Amino acid sequence: MFTGIVAAVGRIAKTDPAPGGLRLHIDTAGLDMADVALGDSIAVSGVCLTVVAFDRSHFEAEVSQATLSVVAGFAAGAPVNLEKALRLADRLGGHLVTGHVDGTGTVSRFDAVGDNRRLVVEAPRAIARYIARKGSVAVDGVSLTVNAVDGDRFEVNLIPHTLGATTLQNLQPGSKVNLEVDMLARYVERLNETAAGKENGS
């Protein structure tokens, strides 16, 4: 489990083919690796990955084809948002993020508004239904508050701190981003389905 508060921006040093997917070699930049152990989880641009090797400045993780089929991809040399798994004693500064990406969206607009940026993302319809105004969404692993929704598109505001501390500063129209909707929306849907089933005598 994660919070969507990025701890460091790392870089994919290289990728190697692996049985059933890819093995990523990630330079961790400023991420503190002192308390990391084999088997720990680290979110890489919103994707929960398991550490299979590491040292003080890098770690390796394997990505399955199933995961690769729903994420924006991992290109060698690309910057990535990094966050270690949440501990029970940590502050929850963002919202609860599982690291299980629901799919990818496409940046429609990325406009300057003073020092801020207005980011508009078009989400797949199957995902867009879970995104609500004033709700939470994770974009490339960054916890953001939705300011507006228009059909399959949603809008968020990026302040200078968020831009400077994450990879979102590099976005442009047409960029693909990993999306994870608020898990509460999925639980509400399931509860409604169960309630409807009982009303129908199921």
CB 13 within 8 A of CB 97: no
For residues 174 and 121, what is the distance between their CA atoms, to the nearest angstrom?
A: 9
Overall number of domains in the chain: 2
For residues 69 and 134, what is the distance between their CA atoms, to the nearest angstrom?
A: 29
pLDDT band at 107 (very low <50, low <70, confident <90, very high): very high
For the chain, give the mean pLDDT. Answer: 93
76 and 126 belong to one structural domain: no
Q: Model pTM?
A: 0.91
Q: pLDDT above 70 covers what percent of the chain?
A: 95
117 and 182 belong to one structural domain: yes
pLDDT tens by residue, 150-162: 999 999 999 999 9
In a domain, 177, yes or no: yes
What's the CATH number where 35 sits?
A: 2.40.30.20
What is the domain extent for residue 64?
8-84
Residue 93 pLDDT > 80, yes or no?
Answer: no
184 and 107 belong to one structural domain: yes
In a domain, 42, yes or no: yes
Nearest to 75 by CA among 136, 6, 122, 22: 22
Q: What is the mean pLDDT of residues 57-71?
A: 96
Q: What is the pLDDT of residue 171?
A: 98
192 conformational bin, left if phi > 0, alpha if psi -120 to 50, beta if neither? alpha
